[in-house]
């Protein structure tokens, strides 16, 4: 059988017509009357992710990012979409890529199955020596995992000599220096990453972290805000922004980012902490989601003219 009708798809995948229509409205798959075998694979992936409570918006955002960085027309068919913690990544050609952060991830599952190879899913860039760069990158990551930090530093530095425009190399090298508490050097490397790739979300996020350690709050907030501009659903950036604004005493700004965080991370210890902060801010500042009346509402006696309604989701 070379094609499947909509009814075939509903029966084979055990999904409802409403589910399929919802995926189409969300832009996760094109609306059609017949489907190929490859389409079935794509739909199975979507079903699995939705069963794991991954939002349609998160899937759509990751797919769009993968199209941008890898030049794929249909990442759900051309690569394997996998969940890595709270994020989504794509596995293809022997490598695992986080398209939003534009970073290669260490693929423990693949390493356990077979030795590392140089075959990778190439991000859209123009390296001087892709094969050599990726071999060095994977070797450096393995050295990090083995605790060989100085060897990893040497490998990353050699890789950047071959390809000085490879932004993920600056990020990983900067992170080693960050953990060694060499914050000035880490800042230099993170800034290099932002210059090499001005749309590299992780570069701005990590830059915000090191600027926070260097006690430069305004610069740190600016870096986190850039990360959020590039990836509005980047939960960690919202979390750190909320903390940064709280430290500056800007509670209204902090509240906005705590609320954004809990919408993206609905469970777990960090989410619970964010919800506690929201309750604390609402109790102390009498802030809430804004509400507007259609006309003038006179104040009750003894009550301030401006009333703020409090609501917790």
Q: How many structural domains comprise the chain?
A: 2
40 and 101 share one domain = no
Question: Is residue 214 in some structural domain?
Answer: no
The answer to whether residue 257 is domain-embedded is no
* Residue 72 sits in the same domain as residue 95: yes
Residue 1 and residue 47 in one domain: yes
Residues 19, 60, single domain; the answer is no
34 and 64: one domain?
A: no
Do 115 and 81 contact (CB within 8 A), yes or no?
no
* Residue 303, helix vs strand vs coil: coil
pLDDT at 246 over 90: yes
Residue 14 lies in a domain: yes
- The answer to whether residue 10 is domain-embedded is yes
Residue 301: CA count within 13 A, CB half-sphere: 0
Instruction: Look at residues 51, 69, 88 and tell me which one is the last residue of a structural domain.
Output: 51
Cα(255)–Cα(122) distance, integer angstroms: 39
Q: Is residue 114 part of a domain?
A: yes
User: Does 45 share its domain with 99?
Assistant: no
Neighbour-count burial for 72-106, b at 16+ CB within 10 Å, e otherwise:
beebbebbebbeeeebbbbbbebbbbbbbbbbbbe
Asked if residue 24 belongs to a domain, the reply is: yes
Give the domain-ending residue among 89, 124, 159.
124
Nearest by Cα to 82 from 112, 56, 59, 65: 59
304 is a domain residue: no
At residue 202, the pLDDT reads 82
More confident residue, 295 or 37: 37
74 and 91 fall within a common domain: yes
- The answer to whether residues 31 and 63 belong to one domain is no
Q: Would residue 141 count as lying in a domain?
A: no
Q: Among 12, 35, 51, where does a domain finish?
A: 51
Q: pLDDT confidence of 94, banded at 50, 70, 90?
A: low
Instruction: Assess whether 59 and 117 both reside in one domain.
Output: yes
Same domain, 37 and 95: no
32 alpha-carbon distance from chain centroid: 30
Do residues 13 and 42 share a domain? yes
pLDDT score recorded for residue 71: 66
Q: Where is average pLDDT lowest: 103-117, 136-150, 216-230?
A: 103-117
Label residue 4 by pLDDT band (50, 70, 90). Answer: confident
| pLDDT higher than threshold 60 for residue 292 | no
Whether pTM > 0.75 for this model: the answer is no
Query: Would you mind telling me the total number of residues written for the chain in this entry?
Result: 313
Q: Could you report the per-residue pLDDT of 211-238, keeping only the tens digit for each? A: 999 999 999 999 999 999 988 878 888 9
Domain range for 61 is 55-124
pLDDT at 112: 42
**Do 64 and 30 fall into the same domain?**
no
């Amino acid at each position: 059988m070379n094609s499947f009708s909509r009814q075939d798809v509903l029966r084979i995948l055990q999904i409802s017509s409403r589910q399929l229509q919802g995926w189409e409205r969300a832009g996760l798959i094109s609306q059609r009357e017949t489907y190929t075998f490859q389409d079935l694979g794509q739909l199975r992936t979507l079903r699995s992710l939705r069963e794991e409570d991954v939002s349609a918006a998160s899937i759509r955002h990751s797919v769009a990012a993968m199209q941008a960085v890898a030049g794929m027309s249909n990442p759900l068919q051309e690569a394997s979409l996998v969940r890595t913690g709270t994020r989504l990544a794509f596995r293809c050609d022997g490598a695992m890529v986080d398209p939003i952060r534009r970073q290669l991830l260490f693929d423990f599952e693949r390493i356990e199955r077979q030795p590392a190879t140089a075959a990778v899913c190439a991000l859209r860039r123009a390296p001087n020596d892709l094969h050599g760069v990726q071999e060095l990158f994977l070797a450096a990551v393995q050295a990090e995992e083995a605790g060989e930090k100085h060897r990893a530093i040497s490998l990353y530095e050699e890789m950047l000599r071959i390809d000085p425009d490879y932004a993920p190399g600056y990020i990983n090298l900067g992170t080693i220096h960050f953990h060694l508490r060499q914050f000035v050097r880490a800042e230099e490397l993170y800034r290099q990453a932002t210059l090499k790739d001005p749309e590299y979300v992780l570069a701005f996020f990590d830059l915000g972290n090191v600027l926070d350690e260097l006690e430069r709050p305004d610069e740190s907030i600016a870096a986190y805000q850039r990360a959020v501009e590039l990836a509005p659903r980047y939960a960690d950036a919202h979390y750190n922004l909320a903390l940064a604004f709280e430290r500056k005493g800007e509670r209204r700004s902090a509240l906005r980012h705590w609320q954004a965080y809990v919408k993206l991370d609905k469970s777990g210890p960090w989410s619970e902490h964010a919800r506690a902060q929201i309750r604390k801010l609402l109790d102390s500042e009498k802030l809430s989601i804004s509400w507007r009346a259609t006309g003038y509402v006179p104040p009750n006696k003894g009550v301030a003219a401006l009333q703020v309604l409090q609501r917790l989701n």
